[in-house]
Amino acid sequence: MERTEGRLADGRQIIWYDADGTHRTAVPDRRDLPTTVTGSQLRLDPLTGQWIGIASHRQSRTFMPPAQECPLCPSRDHLSEIPSAEYQVVAFENRFPSYELNAEAPEAKSDGIEQSRAGRGRCEVVCFTSDHSSTFAALSPEHARLVVDTWADRTTALNAIDGIEYVFPFENRGKEIGVTLQHPHGQIYAYPFLPPRATIELERARAYREQHGRSLFGDIIEREATDGTRVIARNDEWIAFVPFAARWPVEVHLYPTRQVPDLPALDDVARDGFVEVYLDVLQRFDLLYDDPTGYIAAWQQAPARRHRDDAWLHLELFSFRRAADKVKYLAGSESGQGAFVNDGSPEDVAQRLQDAK
């Protein structure tokens, strides 16, 4: 993999990732853009102990432009975020970030009830391909591997930033998920705190190890592999299965069979193994209905500095879509109490995915 670094017109970092031998030269961004300055804040919810991001500047972000004005396509007859005629994979700082390292927020306060601080973190966009009409599922294994290498490289770089606690690569795809740009891309959030889902999973893993002397994640993998009922795809390096207590109408978790804390810790064999299983699962997702299934793909990995021994890298892939023309809305129980009710059976969903090929 080759990296080519550059700067966008407003000073944001952009990095082209290419297969070895490409030897790309950074292209200057000639747009007239003001320097990005945000007022992102973090406010602590005293009832839950969770940090809430306040980023009102994001109200003006780009929303569902026509294909000919896509800001993630290569610059041709319009000036996009990517100043080159073509690219393989690109990562750059988000123009409308939820968190920003230079966030200028009001003075921090802490009076026991109202606690706040600047929302200093980092948000990046990762464009998987320059082909606007493509999808991750349609990438070649070699191209998908380049995306994995990009995620790993960015995780290493972001983990090294002072104040960053957790790096979260993810992809939102589909109108039902609420995407604002249709071009195949994902994002990376580098949080200045440990987010709730990661906190819960790591606390559960730590408690399980203290009680049983084994890894919770490892025991889940062994149980699913032995039973096999909910397994969707597997090879020597990875296993993908519908979880026993699935929250979402369609949900698949992908785990490496060997414990590693994060994406940078995957060796070449494990990265290739992931690509094989992940492309298989994504293609099955798209065969469930007559049109492609929207989804969220959420990487769960070790925090930058804490609890790394308990972590086991995995990807949680899920869709809100419960039927060809219906989506699951997070209504009273889910939104009001965080208590999920799944209208379907995980075993039935697993069977449908196993048959979708």
Label residue 107 by pLDDT band (50, 70, 90).
Answer: confident
Least confident segment among 73-77, 125-129, 136-140: 73-77
CA-based R_g, the chain, Å: 21
Rounded Cα–Cα distance for residues 22 and 16 (Å): 11
Please report, as a single letter, which amino acid is at residue 337.
Q
Q: What is the mean pLDDT of residues 272-297?
A: 96
Q: Which of 143, 185, 253, 314 is catalytic?
A: 185
Pick the CATH number of 197-355 from 3.30.428.10, 2.40.100.10, 3.90.1010.10, 3.40.50.2000: 3.30.428.10
Q: Tell me the pairing of strands 2-7 and 314-319.
A: unpaired
Is position 183 annotated in a ligand binding site? yes
Q: What is the mean pLDDT of residues 66-70?
A: 78
Read off the pLDDT of residues 302-315 as tens digits, 9 standing for 90 and up.
999 988 999 999 99
Distance of CA 99 to the CA centre of its chain: 15
Read off the pLDDT of residues 194-252 as tens digits, 9 standing for 90 and up.
999 999 999 999 999 999 999 999 999 999 999 999 999 999 999 999 999 999 999 99
337 pLDDT exceeds 80? yes
Contact 276, 142 (CB under 8 A): no
Label residue 58 by pLDDT band (50, 70, 90).
Answer: low
6 pairs with which residues across the strands? 14
Q: Is 185 a catalytic residue?
A: yes
Contact 289, 352 (CB under 8 A): no
CATH architecture of 2-194: 2-Layer Sandwich (3.30)
Label residue 59 by pLDDT band (50, 70, 90).
Answer: low
Label residue 55 by pLDDT band (50, 70, 90).
Answer: confident
Sequence-ordered list of residues with C-beta below 8 angstroms from that of 208, at least 6 positions apart, any chain: 214, 215, 216, 219
Label residue 63 by pLDDT band (50, 70, 90).
Answer: low
Rounded Cα–Cα distance for residues 291 and 283 (Å): 12
Residue with tokens 């062994």: 222
Secondary-structure percent of the chain, ordered helix, strand, coil, rounded to 5: 30, 25, 50
Least confident segment among 57-71, 228-242, 281-295: 57-71
Q: Tell me the pairing of strands 89-93 and 122-127.
A: antiparallel
Report the alpha-carbon angle 277-281-286, nearest 5. Answer: 150
**pLDDT more than 90, % of the chain:** 72
Q: What is the mean pLDDT of residues 57-82?
A: 73
Report the alpha-carbon angle 349-354-355, nearest 5. Answer: 100
37 pLDDT exceeds 80? no
Contact 151, 135 (CB under 8 A): no
Is position 127 annotated in a ligand binding site? no
Q: What is the mean pLDDT of residues 290-302?
A: 95
Label residue 105 by pLDDT band (50, 70, 90).
Answer: low
Distance of CA 183 to the CA centre of its chain: 15
7 pLDDT exceeds 60? yes
Q: What is the mean pLDDT of residues 48-61?
A: 79
Q: What is the mean pLDDT of residues 262-288?
A: 97
Label residue 256 by pLDDT band (50, 70, 90).
Answer: very high
Least confident segment among 29-43, 81-95, 192-206: 29-43
For the chain, the average pLDDT equals: 92
Rounded Cα–Cα distance for residues 72 and 111 (Å): 43
Q: Report the SS3 class of residue 119.
A: coil
Sequence-ordered list of residues with C-beta below 8 angstroms from that of 94, at least 6 positions apart, any chain: 123, 124, 125, 187
Please tell me whether the overall predicted TM-score, pTM, comes out greater than 0.75 for this model. Answer: yes
Q: What is the mean pLDDT of residues 287-305?
A: 95
What stretch(es) of the chain map to CATH 3.30.428.10? 2-194, 197-355
DSSP state letters, 220-270: HHHHHHHH-TTEEEE-SSEEEE--TT--SSEEEEEEESS--SSGGG--HHH
Which of the 8 DSSP states describes residue 206?
H
